[in-house]
Amino acid sequence: MWLPSEDPEHTIRGNLKRSHIPERGYMKILEGANESLLLIKDEKIIAAWNLNAKSLEETHENKAMNLINISPESRIEVYQLDDNMFSTIFDLNEECKLPLPTGIDFLLEKKAKDVNRDDVLSKYKIRDPSEDDIDNLLNGYKPKIGGR
């Protein structure tokens, strides 16, 4: 997908809100090995493109929409465009146009599966301290008084 390379208006970490969505512009979503680009006009997604960085496989239209994943680790860049630039980009990316525009709610609801707290603690080998652990810590703490 061809896009101008100006600085993003917003850079978000996985917490996309309706107020971040441009009236006319595009969004770049970086999640793991996938880079997704969405062309947005009047709260509708009208074109989609996805690139898998590992396989260098490009995907367009609805197939690209299905590959979008937003997790807390996702980096989302939001770009606002004027009417002329938007029209130019839309014309240059003919192969990415969706057969039917998709409402922006699709994107706002597209999140990674709910993460289970126990799974996260286990993944990072973190365990909750027991009451005995806390008591031992408190009993073992001896403040230094007068430099002793």
Tens-of-pLDDT digits for all 148 residues of the chain? 656 666 777 787 777 778 888 889 899 988 888 899 999 998 899 999 999 888 889 888 888 888 888 888 888 888 988 888 888 888 888 888 888 888 887 777 765 445 556 665 666 666 777 778 778 777 877 665 555 5
**Alpha-carbon distance 141 to 137, whole Å?**
6
Q: What is the DSSP letter of 113?
A: P
Phi and psi of 132, rounded to 5°?
-65, -40
**Alpha-carbon distance 36 to 68, whole Å?**
7
What is the pTM (predicted TM-score) of this model? 0.67
pLDDT of residue 121: 63
Of 106, 111, 88, residue with least CA distance to 1 = 88
